[in-house]
Amino acid sequence: MAEGIDPLELMPVSRMARPLRALLRGWAGVVLGFLYLPIAFMVLFSFGESRTPGLPFRGPTLHWYQEMLSNGVLMEAVWTSIQLAAVATTLSTLIGTMAAFPLVRSGFRSAGAARIVFTLPIMLPGALIGIALLIFFRRALGVDLSFWTVVMGHIVFTMPFVVLIVSARLQGFDRNLEWAAADLGASPARAMRHVVLPLIAPAIVAGALISVTLSIDEFVITFFTVGPQSTLPTYIYTQIKFGVTPEVNAVATVLLLGTVLLLGLAWAAAGQARRLSRIFGRRRARERIG
Amino acid sequence: MSVPAIELVDATKRYGTSMALDRVSLRIERGEFFCLLGPSGCGKTTTLNLIGGFIPLTSGELRIEGQRVNDMPPHKRNVNTVFQNYALFPHMTVEENVAFGLRMARLGSGETATRVDEYLALVGLEAFHDRLPAQLSGGQQQRVALARALARRPAVLLLDEPLGALDLKLRKQMQVELARIHRQVGTTFVFVTHDQEEALSMATRIAVMSAGRVVQSGTPRDIYYHPVDRFVADFIGESNFLEGVAVRDGARSYVRLGGGSTVDAPADAPPGSVTLMVRPESVSVGPAPATNGEASLSGRVIHVAFIGNHTRVTVRTPAGDIVALRPHSEGSASSALDELLDQEVCAWWSPRDSTIVAHGSTEKIDERLV
């Protein structure tokens, strides 16, 4: 039985069960509406003709998307965000993947504690990290805020995700495969390249994609650590001071689309990792029986 | 004598204070099908891992084809392993798995393809080049692992309980296959197992291990009929043990058993306190021995069990219980044997079929493994 639900579980236990269930279904709809209606309106208004977004809706038009593309300052902010995401993701994927190996494999006594320390920034408030970094850069290091300070700010909170995802994958990795590679004449470096990396690649890709989406969206830490340039989120923030224009709606819609796309890819990559680990799981099960 | 394929001299492996391998010396000749046999934790897999280079020796020496390889990393050793769980690379096809070791040896692509074909044919998997390991059955994965290890044409092939994960029928089939492949390629095989039947049926020589030491090594026949001690006798097949005192009286020697009875002993029995061993299939049960000169004990049949191809008869004698295994010949239907229950009978065997064994280690063998 795949994902089927036992019909018995759906059997009403009291007369009130059926109407209650309908009520709950309605409530779930209200909650979902609360979550997604604002986003739906934002998308809708980005296609509206009116300069001040609102109902009744007139359109649709792609006018604001054209405006967006011809807005030099906005495009520069987008370009900065893309560069920032690319650099921060590359570095945090590299560092995070490398950190995952000793965290999982070294077997040193405080590995569990070390993993918590490594992943704690996920749980810390962004404002706290932002202020701490700002003080650190300006007062402790005495450097000017720039593209590189914001890169470092982004690494602080994207790297933990890479560590989490890659170490989960490494945890389920069958060390026998590395022995087999060595047995068949592969030096440690070649075993890493031909056996270990291809098998943990889905997790690395998933970690990288999540880093990209986090970095593109991040406002708070960027706000505290960025230099004179603006990124997409900080640009939107400054625009909103002058009132919400449909142009901002258009930008946000594009951002939404991009984020959903990347998260979809990350999910697919993680699924690939799960599929492979299921194969390992079966193998381990056989080993236990045998 | 020629240079042996593998030579262990006082090989010792210690983990902290526990001794995994205690001064083991072994000599495995080229072309042998050598079996390391013993219960779990006896050091047989440790021995294999030492040869493969996956764990370092604490002391002693390991030579492969005469060359000392104590400190050589596994990827430089001329041995290959079939792992217990096969350890096939799940992201590679069957063909890529078999080619992996050849690629690592930087063999040309033409030669690699020829070898892959050759060894997949050897294990009967010609039609499976493009499958992924997950798409194969356990038996097929096992064959891929075998082809992958053999394709490098190593001096020695190491097999770590490779049949353990297969069901009984497949296991029997693979035993026959392995013996054929060994004859065909002529490579030295070192095979680790806890299954005595597997060892007896395939090996040219067996080393029985216990508690980190080699207790006895020899041909399957040697070990089965002349075990050095009770541990070996117990581990390999079923045995009857009779405690007693051996007495030499001129040319004849006999053993005085508990309960006052005496039986003839094998000619080489040393005088003194001994344990006499006789295999159940060597024991006959009936009203009286058919010929003179047999060792015989009388007693009462307390149990008769039909076990398919044989019937197992247990006779309680003053010297202890004796188990006899009787094949079903045409004349003796099992129903006739059933009538033996509670009868007073004689159990006898030829003294030549009995052996004096050392008391040996009395440690209990893990029952799961027997």
Tell me: the pLDDT tens digits for A103-136? 888 777 777 788 888 888 888 888 898 899 889 8
Range in A1-15, A254-268, B312-326 the model is least confident about: A1-15
- Gap from B357 CA to chain A (nearest CA, Å): 32
Interface contact A175, partner B, CB < 8 A: no
**Alpha-carbon distances, residue B197 vs B166, B238, B275, B370 (angstroms):** 15, 12, 24, 10
Query: What does chain B come to in residues?
Result: 370
Tell me whether residue A60 is in a domain: no
Do A290 and B84 lie within an 8 Å CB cutoff? yes
- Do A77 and A30 have their domain in common? no
CATH of the domain at A123: 1.10.3720.10
Please determine, for residue B333, whether its predicted confidence score (pLDDT) is greater than 60.
Answer: no
Provide, as residue numbers in chain B, all residues whose Cβ is less than 8 Å from the Cβ of A177: 87, 89-90
- Do A30 and A138 have their domain in common? no
A141 band by pLDDT with thresholds 50, 70 and 90: confident
- Gap from A281 CA to chain B (nearest CA, Å): 11
Name the 3-class secondary structure at B331: coil
Tell me whether residue A53 is in a domain: no
pLDDT of residue B27: 92
CB atoms within 10 A of CB A90: 15
- Residue A128 near residue A100, CB atoms below 8 Å: no
pLDDT of residue A274: 59
Do B165 and A287 lie within an 8 Å CB cutoff? yes
- Do A40 and A119 have their domain in common? no
- Do A35 and A169 have their domain in common? no
Mean pLDDT (whole number) for B238-264: 83
Do B80 and A183 lie within an 8 Å CB cutoff? yes
Closest to A180 in 3D by CA, of B170, B296, B79: B79
- Do A167 and A277 have their domain in common? yes
Which chain A residue shows the shortest CA-CA distance from B151? A184
What pLDDT digit, counting tens, does each position of A230-252 carry? 888 888 888 777 776 777 888 88
Both structure tokens of B30: 């080229």
Of B52, B104, B134, the CB nearest to A185: B104
- Mutation target for B interface from A175, A176, A177, A183: give the one with most B CBs within 10 A: A183
- Gap from B177 CA to chain A (nearest CA, Å): 20
Which chain B residue shows the shortest CA-CA distance from A184? B101
B35 band by pLDDT with thresholds 50, 70 and 90: very high
| Chains A, B: CB pairs < 8 Å | 82
- Residue A153 near residue A221, CB atoms below 8 Å: yes
Domain extent for A30: 17-45
Tell me whether residue A119 is in a domain: yes
Pairing outcome for strands B272-278 and B240-249: antiparallel
Examine the predicted complex and report whether its ipTM is higher than 0.85: no
Provide, as residue numbers in chain B, all residues whose Cβ is less than 8 Å from the Cβ of A186: 75, 100, 104
- Residue B143 near residue B125, CB atoms below 8 Å: yes
Phi-psi region of A34 (alpha: psi -120 to 50; beta: other; left: phi over 0): alpha
CA distance B270 to B351: 14
- Do A88 and A232 have their domain in common? yes
- Which uninterrupted H or E stretch holds B60? strand B59-64
Tell me whether residue A66 is in a domain: no
Of A176, A187, A290, the CB nearest to B75: A187
Which residue is listed with tokens 């270990």? A196
The contacts of residue B60 (CB under 8 Å, 6+ apart) are B8, B9, B10, B11, B12, B23, B24
- Do A244 and A113 have their domain in common? yes
Tell me whether residue A8 is in a domain: no
- Do A39 and A164 have their domain in common? no
Task: Indicate the number of domains in chain A.
Answer: 2
Of B53, B152, B165, the CB nearest to A290: B165
Query: What does chain A come to in residues?
Result: 290
Do B105 and A187 lie within an 8 Å CB cutoff? no
